[in-house]
Amino acid sequence: MSAFAVHPIGHVRSTRALPEDDHWDSVVSSIALDATQFTPDALLGLASFSHVEVVFLFDRVAASAIETGARHPRGNAEWPRIGIFAQRGKNRPNRLGTTICRIVRVDGLELHVIGLDAIDGTPVLDLKPWVREFGPRGDVDQPAWMTELMREYWE
């Protein structure tokens, strides 16, 4: 496979500087777009949506910490050992993260959101308005360990 390059469109500004696992819904943060690449027109119309999907880079994950096989989520041996693509951990091969956040407001080149689970300074690669029709169609299933893992993630 060939490699390709992506460039940040901006960076996260947040009071959270450490990649802790839980309580992300109390975090209000902003995404500052790069003024050398964009004008406020890039965010025009986004405020009419309630949510935005943020694609970002886990840039502080060391190459030595990347997982390509299976592991216990959060190192918890009580949960099953599962493949990296059956979980949403930050130690992914391409270190990409995605989160759907509530839009608070748009202010020039800044998008203010709540519930973004990315720390201060995180490079943002893309923004997409959350559109209901792109959500899951039909029932959504997940294992019990995932429900347990996520219990306090957004509180």
State how many domains the chain has: 1
In a domain, 155, yes or no: no
In a domain, 2, yes or no: no
Cα-Cα-Cα-Cα dihedral sign, residues 84, 90, 92, 98? positive
12-42 pLDDT, tens per residue?
Answer: 999 988 887 777 888 899 999 999 999 999 9
Strands (E) located in 34-121: 51-57, 70-71, 82-83, 96-107, 110-114
| Nearest alpha-carbon partner for 113 in 147, 135, 124 | 124
In a domain, 4, yes or no: no
CB-based contact 32:11 (threshold 8 Å): yes
In a domain, 31, yes or no: yes
The neighbouring-strand residues paired with 112 are 30, 105
78-130 pLDDT, tens per residue?
Answer: 999 999 999 988 999 999 999 999 999 999 999 999 999 999 999 999 999 99
The domain that holds 27 is classified in CATH as 2.40.30.70
Question: What is the reported pLDDT for 152?
Answer: 83
pTM surpassing 0.85? yes
Question: How far apart (Å, rounded) are the C-alpha atoms in residues 146 and 58?
Answer: 21
Domain that holds residue 66: 10-149
